[in-house]
Structure 1
Amino acid sequence: MRLAFMGSPGFAVPALRALHAAGHEIAAVYCQPPRPAGRGQRETPCPVHAAALELGLAVRTPARLRRAAEEHAAFAALGLDAAVVAAYGLILPPPMLEAPRRGCLNIHASLLPRWRGAAPIQAAILHGDAESGVTIMRMDEGLDTGPMLLRESIALPPRATTPWLHDRLAEMGARLILRALEEDPPAIPQPEAGVTHAPKLSKADGRLDWSRPAEELDRRIRAMNPWPGAWFEQGGEAWRVWEAEPLAGEGGPPGLVLPGAPLTIGCGAGALRLIRLQRPGRAAMEAEAFLRGTPLPPGTRLG
């Protein structure tokens, strides 16, 4: 089958590799343009771009698609059976949605209609969902509103993290898109009930508010790592928390370092033990090692 593949981050790479390995003709790979990264701020291709070059595939990196007639014409000229989209990062305008014979198929990392939007994996962890999954849908002009072709779920363990779920859904999506192309299942409209949205994340979403319950803060830490990262402000710095665990029983005043286990912090309900954290410009450390260089005796109030 003659395809275009449209994706940018690591989540999309297993699907690209699976389509290529299955023998589909990938006429073009679309992804976000290279951007400055690392200490030297060198122009760096996104993971899909790098994988496409490795596979010898043609890559296009338009900065915009809306009101870009030349891009619409170039896409139509590919003569596609279908386009596969996975976390591309640009909205496809109607001329591109309508160009492939079988339309544009999206690999979405949630059980639609729950968690439409840019950050469904983090949203599932943050809100304590019991399950997540992947939906293959035929795209329309709405935000993740198109009819569903395939849907598969996975149970979330109590301590699930974003990296854990990300990797499993990426592999699930690769497997399901091969099925969708082969089987051409009927499209089923999404139910109107149960719609939720997971908007694009910013650094502010990682801030820890000690007045919130410890269980909620634990979910935020597991959801926001590795990006945008969970953090609190202390002495004018953003201190990052990589791992923590909520403790049963009564806590203490929110934000107060409590006696007992190293770095146990009072919360709005219960207490949170910080296991691994990091100050700016330094390596991440286990709590005991961190406290040797940055003493925080009981009674210290964190920001």
Structure 2
Amino acid sequence: MSWRIIFMGTPDFACPTLQTLINRGEKPIAVITQPDRPKGRGQKLMPPPVKEIALQHDIPVYQPLKVRDPAFIEVIRDLQPDLIVVIAFGQILPKVLLDIPPQGCVNVHASLLPRYRGAAPLNWCIINGEAETGVTTMLMDPGLDTGPMLLKRATIIDENENIISLHDRMATMGAELLAETVDGLKAGRLTPEQQDDKQTCYAPLLKKEDGLINWYRDARAIHNQVRGMVVWPGAYTFLQGQPLKIFRTRVAQGTGLPGSVLRASREGLEIACLSGSLVIEELQLAGKKRLDAASFLAGFPGLEGMLLTSNPETHIS
């Protein structure tokens, strides 16, 4: 049975799912993605990763500023899709669009719904110290990740895994689950399951200020913050008034004034927290290169006893 499928997605996370459809012989009749955006120092317009794959396979690409535009809705209607697949697209779809394909719109969401609805589920799973996450496919409705669920697949999160490796694993898992979902829909063997709203929590987009470290917290909580924000906004603190980004840490058992540098060695900078301590293994001072601890200390000796703070105006050593 051959279905006319439209694919809607934008970032790297969506690429394995698009590629899987193509590899299965279910090449979408169209790809809908966000407009090209300026990137880098030169602010050159760059296509979304999904667009690049589509063009490589001669798939027509549409990049509406707003999917609610009536003219764009008519474009989708004229394409006569049987199914629309949506993954990390970046806009909320209106009901008039959701109602077009007779098989519905299937979303691949990177959490075990109804937990972690919203734009940044993987980040918040790590930040909140979850031991497990996964992917869910669901039939979309006008709400925010509230539609009836089709299939789920779970995976363990290692206590030291960061958002980069988890993102890549979940992108692959999402592609596999979407393929299984399409097969199940075609065979008529999937029964949609309504979500329990009482079990939900929200995973909003990260903000710059979410990365600011408060050393008056448990070391494990700060470690999770670093892991979940290593791509953006980056966990950061202040050293002698200068922003200091932190990229890799491990939890230790040291004690002292929260924020104080207990030890500084080639193995890392050990910082006291409210409970336990955190060893910083990779970091970057404002305007400098990202370095491992040994390289950093070669250019910034004498750190023991200094204080990392949440306020650039606080200069204590």
- Name the counterpart of 2:280: 274
1:164 correspondence with 2:170:
no
* 1:236–1:32 Cα change, 3 Å: farther
Over the residues paired in the alignment, what is the CA RMSD in angstroms? 1.4
Tell me the TM-score normalized by structure 2. 0.91
Partner Cα distance (1:219, 1:76) in 2: 45
1:243 correspondence with 2:244:
no
1:55 correspondence with 2:57:
yes
Cα pair 1:256 1:265 within 8 Å, conserved: yes
Cα pair 2:87 2:107 within 8 Å, conserved: yes
- Name the counterpart of 2:43: 41
Moved more, 134-143 or 274-283: 274-283
Letter in 1 for 2:272: G
> Per the alignment, in what secondary structure is the counterpart of residue 79 of structure 2?
coil
- Name the counterpart of 1:154: 155
- Per the TM alignment, residue 183 of structure 1 is displaced from its structure 2 partner at its CA by 1.2
Partner Cα distance (1:221, 1:122) in 2: 10
Q: Superposed, which structure 2 residues align to 1:47-196 within 5 Å?
A: 47-66=49-68, 68-184=69-185, 185-196=190-201
Which consecutive unaligned segments of at least 5 residues does structure 1 have? Answer: none
Residues 91-135 of structure 1: CA deviation (Å, up to 9, x unaligned): 101111111111110000000001000001011111111211100
Letter in 2 for 1:40: G
Cα pair 1:136 1:176 within 8 Å, conserved: yes
1:217 corresponds to which of 217, 222, 235: 222
> Per the alignment, in what secondary structure is the counterpart of residue 25 of structure 2?
coil
Cα pair 2:135 2:173 within 8 Å, conserved: yes
> Per the alignment, in what secondary structure is the counterpart of residue 26 of structure 1?
coil
> Per the alignment, in what secondary structure is the counterpart of residue 138 of structure 2?
strand
Cα pair 1:257 1:296 within 8 Å, conserved: no
- Per the TM alignment, residue 281 of structure 1 is displaced from its structure 2 partner at its CA by 3.2
Which consecutive unaligned segments of at least 5 residues does structure 2 have? Answer: 310-317
* 1:54–1:241 Cα change, 3 Å: same
Partner Cα distance (1:222, 1:62) in 2: 34
Letter in 2 for 1:170: A
Letter in 1 for 2:301: P
Moved more, 132-141 or 41-50: 41-50
Cα pair 2:239 2:307 within 8 Å, conserved: no
The runs of at least 4 aligned residues of structure 1 exceeding 6 Å deviation read none
- Per the TM alignment, residue 232 of structure 1 is displaced from its structure 2 partner at its CA by 1.4
Residues 35-83 of structure 1: CA deviation (Å, up to 9, x unaligned): 11112111011111112112221111111123x1101111111100111
- Per the TM alignment, residue 233 of structure 1 is displaced from its structure 2 partner at its CA by 2.7
Cα pair 2:115 2:199 within 8 Å, conserved: yes
2:211 corresponds to which of 160, 183, 206: 206
Moved more, 212-221 or 179-188: 179-188
> Per the alignment, in what secondary structure is the counterpart of residue 277 of structure 1?
strand
- Per the TM alignment, residue 296 of structure 1 is displaced from its structure 2 partner at its CA by 4.5
> Per the alignment, in what secondary structure is the counterpart of residue 263 of structure 1?
strand
- Per the TM alignment, residue 236 of structure 1 is displaced from its structure 2 partner at its CA by 4.3
Partner Cα distance (2:304, 2:248) in 1: 20
Partner Cα distance (1:112, 1:89) in 2: 18
- Name the counterpart of 2:235: 230
Partner Cα distance (2:209, 2:291) in 1: 23
Among the aligned pairs, what percent are the same residue?
Answer: 40
* 1:279–1:259 Cα change, 3 Å: closer
> Per the alignment, in what secondary structure is the counterpart of residue 124 of structure 2?
helix
> Per the alignment, in what secondary structure is the counterpart of residue 112 of structure 1?
coil
2:295 corresponds to which of 289, 293, 296: 289
- Name the counterpart of 1:15: 17
